[in-house]
Amino acid sequence: MNEDNGCLFCKIASGEIPSKKVYEDEKVFAFLDINPRNPGHTLVIPKKHFTTISDMSEEEYGELFSRAKYVANGVQKGTKSDGLSVVQSNGKAAGQVVTHVHVHLIPRYMSEGPVSLEGVLSVKKFPDETLDSVASSIKGSIGKSSEKKEEYDF
Ligand code: 5GP
Ligand code: ZN
């Protein structure tokens, strides 16, 4: 299942590099982040190597995220957190450091002073024409961005 590509998370999924595992099944492996933003900060990764979600079929993406949801329930219950952030970054520009797809499950607490999305990325104002143009570009690109899209036609 794992490729011999020197990938850190492939090695964690195979057990070659130790981790604090919280869950495993045939498709995913979940373990504690070595630099937790809060106790219980968990990473859920596909056992198969993908660099970003663009490399995954809709089915593979669905398998990862449905299992991440399953693990998320356990993280929230197990940490008794007030909330939970689900974070998934693709590409350097988005802050992805480890180039094996991973979903962060981060327990959140009212006591830490909630940080909303605005705390990470500030709101910017754009002219209406810019928004119309980008909406049109996205509409025209949906169904064309993934090579594997033809398997699924929503
Ligand atoms: P990214 O910034 O790519 O979204 O997240 C990568 C995450 O992997 C970081 O939060 C980082 O702390 C975590 N990480 C990096 N190396 C290791 C490791 O060897 N073991 C574990 N458990 N987590 C790691
Ligand atoms: Zn990998």
Residue 142: pLDDT over 80: yes
Q: In this predicted model, what pLDDT tens digit does every residue of 39-88 receive, in sequence order?
A: 999 999 999 999 999 999 999 999 999 999 999 999 999 999 999 999 99
- pLDDT confidence of residue 114: 81
Residue 115: pLDDT over 90: no
Q: Is residue 119, in this structure, part of any structural domain at all?
A: no
Residue 149: pLDDT over 70: no
Q: Is residue 48, in this structure, part of any structural domain at all?
A: yes
Q: Is residue 136, in this structure, part of any structural domain at all?
A: no
Residue with the two structure tokens 């933003």: 37
C-alpha angle 95-40-12 in degrees, rounded to nearest 5:
65
- What is the 141 CA–ligand 2 centroid distance (Å)? 28
Note if the pTM is more than 0.85. yes
Q: Is residue 83, in this structure, part of any structural domain at all?
A: yes
- What is the 9 CA–ligand 1 centroid distance (Å)? 9
The domain spanning residue 77 has which CATH number? 3.30.428.10
Q: Is residue 98, in this structure, part of any structural domain at all?
A: yes
Residue 27 Cα distances to 13, 19, 37, 145, angstroms: 10, 17, 25, 24
pLDDT band at 89 (very low <50, low <70, confident <90, very high): very high
> Which positions are annotated as active-site residues?
102
Range of the domain at 44: 8-112
Q: Which ligand is nearest to the CA of 3?
A: 2
- What is the 132 CA–ligand 2 centroid distance (Å)? 38
Instruction: Indicate which atom in ligand 1 lies nearest the CA of residue 95.
Output: 2
Total tally of structural domains belonging to the chain: 1
C-alpha angle 36-78-106 in degrees, rounded to nearest 5:
35
Residue 1: pLDDT over 50: no
Higher per-residue confidence, 98 vs 152 = 98
Pocket of ligand 1 (CB under 6 A): 8, 19, 31-35, 43, 89, 95-98
Cβ atoms of 108 and 81 closer than 8 Å: yes
Cβ atoms of 59 and 151 closer than 8 Å: yes
